Amino acid sequence: MLSPPNSTPLLQPLDQGIMRCVKAAYTRLTFGKIRDALYANPHLSVMESWKTFTMADAIALIAEAVQAIKPSTLNACWKPLWRNAVSNFTGFPSIDAEVINIRNIAMENGGEGFSDMAESDLREHIEGHREIFSNEELEEMTKSSTDEEDGVEDSEETVPPAWTLEKFADVFQQAQVLKDKILEYDPSMERGLVVTRGIAASLSPLQELFDDAKRKQKQLPITMFLTDASAGTSKGPLQE
């Protein structure tokens, strides 16, 4: 499709509206991938999780983020350029819900930099199209005071007798291996994403049980499950 001359200023709201929504969804999915990795292997650090992130992972998450855009959102963003194509306009798309979801996932991950993540910072990142967290910022996010961890009781005490953190870790790890294999072997990325999303959805009751156990521990920092964070220099997945 050819755009009329001098239409760039009109198209800018389209770019900002759609790309803002895609970036918000991508950020949520990436934070969710970190959470899934930490569930699968409690001994994994955030930096080690970043290092396993590949271009294939980024492409898959971008595709999923694009698919998450609602037709009504795309339609609304055409209003500045093509008013007649817009029906039932109720305003430009909002990222409020995504920001809340991202912050909730960050709090689930726990630890310094995640548990205290502010919605205003997330909004500035998404709406301002800034560079994603630097390596130094990621390292800072994985740090926590060792003094606060002194005297922490064994986390398994609040887990139902039928489950231990080791059992949770084993189940989540095997599920992650299965999802990775499906995405690796299936020539259809779209079909692979559908299957892996189904696996993740089927595990949601166990994730809720695990989250409940963490809440009963008064939201202990995630670093109690982690080895020392690596000081690696690899780029974060959003920097690829």
Taking CB atoms within 8 Å and a gap of at least 24, the contacts of 52-57 are 53/236, 53/237, 53/240, 55/240, 56/183, 57/33, 57/237
As a whole number of angstroms, the distance between CA 172 and CA 232 comes to: 25
Q: If phi over 0 gives left and psi between -120 and 50 gives alpha, with beta otherwise, what is residue 209?
A: alpha
Q: Name the residue among 24, 3, 236, 212 with its Cα closest to residue 141.
A: 236
How far apart CA 96 and CA 91 sit, in angstroms, is 13
* pTM for the full predicted model: 0.49
pLDDT of residue 156: 44
Query: Of 103, 58, 95, nearest to 73 (Cα)?
Result: 95
Q: Give the Cα separation of 155 and 90 in Å (integer).
A: 48
| Mean pLDDT split into 10-residue runs, the chain, 240 residues | 54 64 86 84 77 81 84 70 67 74 79 71 67 54 47 48 73 84 84 81 79 62 46 45
Question: What does the pLDDT read at residue 229?
Answer: 42
Domain coordinates in residue numbering, the chain: 12-144+158-227
Q: How far apart are CA 65 and CA 29, in angstroms?
A: 8
